[in-house]
Amino acid sequence: MLLADFKLSTAGMPIDRLLAARVDGDIVPLRLVGIDGDQLILGTDVDRQVTLSDVIALEDNNLNLVVRDEAQQLHPVFGYRVVVEQLVLG
């Protein structure tokens, strides 16, 4: 999912929503890791959970969203769903 598409689809949502991902059946918090080429990398981190406002503040709309798991594997994001006021990427 491109950052531009993510921004369009979340327009109007509360910007304080937290971002998470489903990893091995569990919903885990995400943080911004950084940008690598054309990828915006989000990693799992229970201490520094990123909000929707943090992500929509980024300017390069052509970045592909990816989640890096604890084994350092990158997983492309194809969409999200709202679970208990969090945006769970998948």
Over 90: is that where the pLDDT of 5 sits? yes
Instruction: Give strand pairing partners of 82.
Output: 87
What's the pTM value of the predicted model, to 2 decimals?
Answer: 0.92
- Provide CB contacts within 8 A for 28, sequence distance 6+: 20, 21, 22, 44, 46
CA distance 79 to 89: 6
Structural domain boundaries enclosing 20:
3-89
pLDDT at 24: 82
Residue 14, pLDDT score: 97
The H-or-E segment that residue 10 falls in is helix 3-10
| pLDDT single digits (tens) 36-68 | 999 999 999 888 899 999 999 999 999 999 999
pLDDT of 55: 97
Query: What's the pLDDT score for residue 33?
Result: 97
Count of domains forming the chain: 1
Q: What are 20-39's pLDDT values in tens digits?
A: 999 888 999 999 999 999 99
Question: How high is the pLDDT of residue 10?
Answer: 98
